[in-house]
Amino acid sequence: MLVLLPNEKAEPFITTFCQKLVKPPSNKLGIICLRVLSVLFHGLDPVSSTRYTVYHTLVQVAGQVEQIKSVFADLDKMRAQLAPCKPSNDQMQKLLRILHEALLNSRESELASKVMVELLSTYTTENASQAREEAQRCIVASLADPNTFLLDHLLTLQPVKVLEGALLHDLLTIFVTEKLSAYIKFYEEKKDFVEGLGLKHEQNLRKMRILTFMQLAENAVELPFEMLEKQLQLSEDQVEEFVLQVLKTKLVRARMDQLNKKVLVSSTMHRTFGKQHWQQLPNRTHCNCEKMNDREHKDQGNKLFLARRFDEAISCYTKAILKNGNVPQYYTNRALCSLKLGRWDGVVQDCKSALELDNTWVKGHFFLGQALMEKECYEEAIKHLQRARDLSMDQRMNFGDDITSQLRLAKKHHFTKQEEKRISQEIELQMYLNRLIREDRDRQIEMISQGKEYSAVEDEISNIEIFAASFFYKPFIVMSPCYVFCFVCFVSLLFNDKLTITIFFIQKREVPDYLCGKISFEIMKDPVITPSGITYDRKDIEEHLQRVGHFDPVTRVKLTKDQLIPNFSMKEVVDSYLAENEWALHY
């Protein structure tokens, strides 16, 4: 109903509706509120200003029930979702603040840091001083993160510029441009200040050593161990281990010549990538374009990608493809840039080109699945994501949870789309039946009222109206919980009723997690239990043992096929659930 109302009429109802849901009394109710708000958000007109209100509430509720990752994936996607409704700068600042807090509470420190940088970038020279404290927290968090090394972008933020002259700004400048010796001198003079920020000296030393190594590698192709000992203040037996740590960060590409005790540098990320670098880049490109081979164009594109210069990176990958169009990696690299820019058609085209060259190219299926999901082609997306997961297992490639999380999301969206279609059909049927009931009611009342006083037929009319009304609300019992919840909450708001009474109208339309396998995330058909007490679907666990290794994927304990025992109790529970919920067969 809220979705169907005109924007100007719906706004006050939606605002009040969101206020009612913003603080659910329990985690269970919070999950339901989250689903309702998600349905409402995606059902509203993209240009409706109320979408911002709903999304703001969605983030608040998601933070309270620790489900923020189900709402927020990355900044680019959030911008694309909110761009049509054109939120103001103040609104975006409020949203980014609560988003940052929710991510911190969910221990998503890397995403939280990106959101904070985005928040600080919304300030100008006129109002930058208002974000002074937030800038300080952002700097400290970035310095404390052991995996964050490139910090020069912070110095360009207006709220950070306000801190110029302060000790914290001086410390940040050291991490951006100076070497290890400068940090040690600062620490010796300002030890209490550094420790007061909660920064760990040993961790700072490690980071500064890596940054110093990067700076040395910028201007040299060979780094003797002796020089590294002196510049990084390491003992002779610590150098090799340290170099291995640097190489693991992938900030520097190099190899060790242990016989001659030196490091041979191939390439390195620049600690700062300022105006002078961009001025040099076009000249180098034009001068050396004909001389550069496809691999060099690809390497140049990789550097631009890491600097988030996606359009320039696409140009480099295109040149690599023109030089050699038979390398699938070049197409998927360009597809990844398009994915970051939200250009789904470009992703699809490049991934298909890569798969024509090599149908077993994991990234081709992975990126194609993501793009198809954004284009709402869920069935095809699931097919490619499933293929990517299977290939990654066959090739023993470690993508962590990246592929499986996208596969879960695609299946969820596909089920939601099917559910919305079913709901739409039920609503149409309900409206049609209600119209027939009203017409029949009016016809009966008209028949008994002809030529008679109202008082003479009042009781009969009342009985007809009661009988007809008894049919109006029955269809809601079989509707989706989200739409039931929306409807009853809306009615509750109008009549100032308590929100909690609506729970009794809800029939859940989701499969409980305990019925789903821990590998495929689908309903278990043949559940088996391991000696560790974990239940899997036989097909999935046997495939894991064959392709990945003989260990339990959850507990990592050694496991063989003959140790799998049929879980008849779980099988009985699954069969009973499916008998009562046939729709779950298509979940």
In the structure, what pLDDT confidence band is assigned to residue 186 with cuts at 50, 70 and 90?
A: very high
pLDDT at 377 over 70: yes
> Can you give the pLDDT at residue 504?
38
Where is pLDDT greater, at 216 or 488?
216
The whole model's pTM is what?
Answer: 0.50
In the structure, what pLDDT confidence band is assigned to residue 582 with cuts at 50, 70 and 90?
A: low
How far is 350 from 353, CA to CA, in rounded Å?
Answer: 5
> Can you give the pLDDT at residue 328?
93
pLDDT at 350 over 50: yes
In the structure, what pLDDT confidence band is assigned to residue 6 with cuts at 50, 70 and 90?
A: low
> Can you give the pLDDT at residue 327?
92
In the structure, what pLDDT confidence band is assigned to residue 584 with cuts at 50, 70 and 90?
A: confident
> Can you give the pLDDT at residue 535?
92
Please, which residues have CB within 8 angstroms of residue 15's CB and are 6 or more apart in sequence? 50, 53
Superfamily of domain 527-586 in CATH is: Zinc/RING finger domain, C3HC4 (zinc finger) (3.30.40.10)
> Can you give the pLDDT at residue 7?
57
pLDDT at 490 over 50: no
Query: Mean pLDDT, to the nearest integer, of 308-315?
Result: 87
pLDDT at 232 over 80: yes
> Can you give the pLDDT at residue 170?
92
> Can you give the pLDDT at residue 181?
92
DSSP calls for 3-60: TTS-HHHHHHHHHHHHHHHSS-SSHHHHHHHHHHHHHHHHHS-TT-THHHHHHHHHHH
> Can you give the pLDDT at residue 289?
54
pLDDT at 27 over 90: no
In the structure, what pLDDT confidence band is assigned to residue 318 with cuts at 50, 70 and 90?
A: very high
Establish whether domains 7-196 and 290-415 are of one fold.
Answer: yes
Is residue 227 within 8 Å of 233, Cβ to Cβ? no
pLDDT at 275 over 50: no
Helix (H) or strand (E) holding 225: helix 225-232
Tell me the pairing of strands 527-529 and 535-537.
antiparallel
**Among the listed ranges 210-214, 306-310, 319-323, 338-342, which one has the minimum average pLDDT value?**
306-310
The percent of residues in the chain predicted with pLDDT above 70, rounded, is: 86
In the structure, what pLDDT confidence band is assigned to residue 492 with cuts at 50, 70 and 90?
A: very low
**Among the listed ranges 194-208, 382-396, 496-510, 527-541, which one has the minimum average pLDDT value?**
496-510
pLDDT at 468 over 80: no
> Can you give the pLDDT at residue 556?
81
Report DSSP state, residue 200: -
pLDDT at 339 over 60: yes
Structure token pair of residue 537:
């679907």
> Can you give the pLDDT at residue 575?
87
> Can you give the pLDDT at residue 155?
86
Is residue 168 within 8 Å of 136, Cβ to Cβ? yes
Query: Mean pLDDT, to the nearest integer, of 324-335?
Result: 93
> Can you give the pLDDT at residue 501?
38
Query: Mean pLDDT, to the nearest integer, of 55-64?
Result: 89
**Fold topology of 7-196:** 1.25.40
> Can you give the pLDDT at residue 498?
40
Task: State pLDDT tens for residues 521-570.
Answer: 788 889 999 998 899 999 888 888 887 778 888 888 889 988 999 999 89
Does 1.10.10.10 match the CATH number of domain 197-270? yes
Domain segments of the chain as ranges: 7-196, 197-270, 290-415, 527-586
- Which conformational region is residue 400 in: left (phi greater than 0), alpha (psi within -120 to 50 degrees), or beta? left
- Torsion over CA: 270, 271, 273, 277 (sign): negative
DSSP calls for 414-449: HHHHHHHHHHHHHHHHHHHHHHHHHHHHHHHHHHHH
Where is pLDDT greater, at 500 or 540?
540
Q: What is the CATH number of domain 290-415?
A: 1.25.40.10
Give the side-chain half-sphere CA count within 13 A for 164.
7
> Can you give the pLDDT at residue 425?
75
Query: Mean pLDDT, to the nearest integer, of 419-441?
Result: 77
How far is 565 from 540, CA to CA, in rounded Å?
Answer: 14
> Can you give the pLDDT at residue 329?
93
> Can you give the pLDDT at residue 351?
94
